[in-house]
Structure 1
Amino acid sequence: MTFATMLRDRESLVGTWVALNDPAVAEISAGLEFDAVVIDGEHSVNSIETITEMARAVDAADVDGDSDPGTIVRLSTNDTTEIKRVLDAGVDGVMAPMIDDPQDAQAFVEATRYPHEGVRGVGYGRATEYGEAFPEYVDRANDEIVTIAQIETEAGLENVEEIAAVDGLDGLFVGPADLSAALGIFGETESDEFLAAVDRTLEAGHAVDKPVSILALDGDEIERWVDHGFDIVFAGVDIDYVKMGGRRAKATFEDAAGTRDE
């Protein structure tokens, strides 16, 4: 079963977030059998070259489950040319930041679709097996590419119902850092104001039967957002995994060394 199918069926899904621009990190993450791996193209040094190599790595990962993890790229901007290049790299979907109104959402969807449903240019690339699967890919891509809009501004929140209703948009993503900053309560994700924004976004998505996702940075957040009703939780970022593992190893050594010296 593809990630697109699971997402559109509103299954409860777990993903992971990769910002370090190393294909090995993407491959390791995919091998842990998450439902999706998000490659961050906004707040990272990733280029189209590294995104392509990381997409290859996700596809190459040894996965024992019934379905391979989906590869989603978080774009740097809602730009037609960038979207075209990222999709040509052979990923399963894209996430667009700073979607403020239904016009932004419509332009985003159209950039992912070939004519006559959209404006995506047709060209060789990894997605079409460098031309070997040209007709087959072009025939099915409009139905299979996943589109997720990030709600992370005051304007996006104000227009979230109209954004969610845009035809061809598959889901919403709450950007907790940016949205809390936009509301003037940066990092206060347990505040009543932030939770009201979360609830409005969840209601907007679910009213049109579309999943809503969020990023959670630790175990408590993961449990909280699952309990709150999110359909997809991206459970942690590779940078934090490295820091947590390093701190745990250092603390273990310091405990052992302290005991030895007594």
Structure 2
Amino acid sequence: MKIKKNKFKEHISKKNKQIGIWSCLTNNTIAEIISVTGFDWSVIDMEHSPNDIQEVLTQLQVMEGYDTEPVVRVPWNEPIMVKRILDMGAQTILYPFVQNVEEAKVAVEATRYPPKGIRGIMSAARMNRYGHVENYYLEAEKEICVLIQCETKEAIKNIPEIAKVDGIDGIFIGPSDLSGSIGKIGQFEDQEVQDLIYEGLELATKAGKPAGILTGKKDYAKKYVEAGYTFVAINSDTNLFARSAENLLKEFK
């Protein structure tokens, strides 16, 4: 049996636009709906959502066989959780709050087997189809996609150096923490916040790395795609449900 190809990694490396969604509701049916609908990628969020290990596993299993690439955002840039997520079969990891080259190197090393990294070696688990994938340990690196979030003014400035780290496949701009880092928390439409968002795109592009971003506003999503962002999450399941429910209720009350 051959290793599963990471089509998302292949597409963003070629700067093919990938439209995604953020998934926070820790629900298998939601994961299935997202996949059936046909999003290119979907973040299973562990940082700001109550997704635990078992819930992530079952969502990965539900999404198997669909074209939607599950992107697992781990809670933090540390190797133990990453090891478990990779062994469960995830091939794309999104790291929150990476500030500099040193932290970017730590992120990559957690996804690589020795001697390139520190990923622990498991003989048979979901990642290698319980031992059925040929040459998994030699092939895994090619299909693992490492995305790092630059979500402060400092991190934005460090993108040129971060992008040089071998194994970084994409730069993700985090608008929420970015706004907070300059004292404008939640003011996503503020000009200074937007300038940093576009500066991040420009620096990533100059460094030859695809850039990604999340927004809950349709107009901004379109602007980011048109501006050159390669992978854009155009909303979250939580926000879609909450706003739809809110608007429906307003029609009756």
Give the shorter-chain TM-score range: over 0.9
Say which SS state the counterpart of residue 166 (structure 2) adopts: coil
User: Would you say the 8 A contact 1:216–1:225 is kept in 2?
Assistant: no
- Structure of greater relative contact order (alpha carbons < 8 Å, 6+ residues apart): 2
Most deviating of 115-124 and 211-220: 115-124
| In 2: Cα distance, 1:42 partner to 1:71 partner | 15
Aligned 1:81-160 pairs, distance under 5 A: 81-123=80-122, 124-133=124-133, 135-160=134-159
Aligned 1:210-225 pairs, distance under 5 A: 210-225=209-224
Alignment-mate amino acid for residue 76 of structure 1? P
| In 2: Cα distance, 1:114 partner to 1:155 partner | 30
| In 2: Cα distance, 1:81 partner to 1:59 partner | 24
Say which SS state the counterpart of residue 189 (structure 1) adopts: coil
Post-superposition offset of 1:252:
4.0
TM-score of the two chains, using structure 2 as the length reference: 0.92
Backbone CA RMSD of aligned residues = 1.6
| In 2: Cα distance, 1:228 partner to 1:196 partner | 12
TM-score of the two chains, using structure 1 as the length reference: 0.89
The percentage of counterpart residues that share the same residue type is 32
Q: Deviations over 1:185-233 (max 9, x none)?
A: 1222233321231222112211122110100102122122223321111
Aligned 1:1-262 pairs, distance under 5 A: 2-60=7-65, 63=66, 68-123=67-122, 124-133=124-133, 135-254=134-253
Structure possessing the higher radius of gyration over alpha carbons: 1
Alignment-mate amino acid for residue 140 of structure 1? E
Alignment-mate amino acid for residue 60 of structure 2? A
| In 2: Cα distance, 1:10 partner to 1:106 partner | 23
User: Would you say the 8 A contact 1:30–1:69 is kept in 2?
Assistant: yes
Divergent runs of 4+, >6 A: none
How many matched pairs?
Answer: 247
Say which SS state the counterpart of residue 81 (structure 1) adopts: helix
Say which SS state the counterpart of residue 234 (structure 1) adopts: strand
Post-superposition offset of 1:253:
4.0
Higher helix proportion (structure 1 or 2): 1
